Amino acid sequence: MKPKLLVVELWGMGDLVIATPFLQAASQRFAVTLLAKPYARDLQARFWPEVKVVQFIAPWTAFERKYYLWRWPWREMFRLRRQLSVEAFDYGLSARWDPRDHLLLKLARAKTRLGFQRMGSRIFLSAPIARPEPRMHRYENWRVMGAALGFELPPQHKLALPRHRFEGEILVHTGAGQPVRVWPLERYRNIVKRLRENGFTVRIACDPDQRNWWLEAGEQNVATPQTVRDLIAEIDEAAIFIGNDSGPGHLAAFCGVPTFTIFGPQLPEWFAPLHPASDWLEGKPCPYKPCSDYCQFPVPYCMVNSSEEEVWQRIQKFVDSTITEHSPALFR
C-alpha cells in the first residue's frame, strides 16, 4: 500500500500547473491528496488523474479583505479539518514558505510535515527544509520537496512536456488574475492586426469583463472560457499562445504550446512558463517590484511602459523563430 501524502497548494492556476511535474511523480509513489481551489478538478482530469482533489477556497487567498475573520467560512473549515485528520496522512507538505499552510498541515495531523519555515512556523513542521535560493524559479521549490521525499524531478530545461502538433491559430489571451497584470487592450488589438496583416490566423480569448471591449472593437469570434476545461479546449486548437503573466499562459505551456508572456509586476525568473520554447518580455523597473499585484501607483507602469513597438518586435521574433524551428509553412 502506498503511503499517504497531503499536498497543499491553495493559490492560483499557474501555481498548480508549476506543481504538475511534482504531482505526477509523487502519485507514482504515494497516494496523493491535493488541497486546492475547485479548478484543480479540471487540471486533475488532464494532468494527474491519480491525485485525489479536496476543494477548498482559503479565505486568506482573496485579493481584498482577506482577514475579515467574521466572513471566514468557519463551519466549512472545521469540517475540512475533520475530513483531513481522519485520513491519517503519513506525509504532508507545502512548497510555499507560508505559515498558514504549515498550520493546516498540523491541523490535518500529518505525521511528517515538510515545508520552508517562516515567521516561527517551525513549530508546525516536523521536518523544515532549506528553501532554494530566492531568485530561482518556483518550480525549484517542488524539486526540493521531491528530493525530501526521496525522488528526483528533472531540471526545468529537461522537463518532458507533451509534444504539440504545432499547427493552427495564434491564441491571444488578454486576461489576468488582477488588472495590474493586463497589458493595455488597445495595444493588444494593434498587435493582433499586425499578425493578421502578416498572414496569421489569430483568435482572441479574454476574461468576461473584457468581452464587450473586444466585441465593440470589431472582434466577432471572441472566446470567453468559463472553466479551465473550456480554456484547455481553446488551447488545444492553438499553435502559439500570447498573453499576460497569468494562469492561462502556464496552462498553455504545459499543454505543449509555446508561449509569449508580457510580464509586469512579477519576475520571469520566478514565474516564466515551463515550455522550453517559451519567451517573454520582462516588465519595466519599479522600486516596489515584485509587488504581489498591490500597485503603489495610479497605473501599473511596469506594464504600460512596455510600448506597442517593443512588444511587437519581440512577438515577431518569437513567432518567426517558432515557425523556423517547426515548419516554414505553419499558420499561414
Q: pLDDT tens digit string along 241-252?
A: 999 999 999 999
DSSP string for residues in 247-299: HHHHHHHHTT--EEEE--SS-HHHH--S-TT-EEEPPPP-TT-S-TT--SSSS
- pLDDT at site 67: 67
Q: Which H or E run contains 194? A: helix 185-197
- pLDDT at residue 9 is higher than 50: yes
Query: Tens digits of per-residue pLDDT, 286-318?
Result: 998 888 778 888 889 999 999 999 999 999 999
CB 26 within 8 A of CB 52: no
Go through the domains of the chain in sequence order and give each one's CATH number: 4-158 (3.40.50.2000), 169-326 (3.40.50.2000)
| CA gap 254, 257 in Å, rounded | 7
- pLDDT at site 331: 47
CB 273 within 8 A of CB 249: yes
Contacts of 214 (CB under 8 A, 6+ apart): 174, 185, 189, 204, 206, 222
- Three cell numbers, residue 277: 520554447
14-42: average pLDDT: 95
Quickly state the pLDDT bin for 326 (edges 50, 70, 90).
low
Per-residue CA distances from 59 to 64, 68, 76, 98 (Å): 10, 9, 11, 14
Quickly state the pLDDT bin for 164 (edges 50, 70, 90).
low
64-74: average pLDDT: 74
- pLDDT at site 201: 92
- Three cell numbers, residue 116: 520552508
- pLDDT at site 12: 87
Query: Tens digits of per-residue pLDDT, 29-40?
Result: 999 999 999 999
CB 115 within 8 A of CB 94: yes
CB 303 within 8 A of CB 285: no
Of 257, 250, 266, the closest CA to residue 302 belongs to 266
Query: Tens digits of per-residue pLDDT, 86-115?
Result: 999 999 999 988 888 898 899 899 999 999
| CA gap 307, 320 in Å, rounded | 20
| CA gap 4, 26 in Å, rounded | 10
Contacts of 90 (CB under 8 A, 6+ apart): 3, 4, 5, 30, 110, 111, 112
Phi (first) and psi of residue 54, to 5 degrees: -110, 120
Neighbours of 130 (CB within 10 A): 9
Q: Nearest 5°: CA angle at 17, between 43 and 320? A: 110
Please classify residue 11 by burial: count the beta carbons closer than 10 Å to its beta carbon, then call 0-12 exposed, 13-18 middle and 19+ buried: middle
pTM higher than 0.85, yes or no? yes
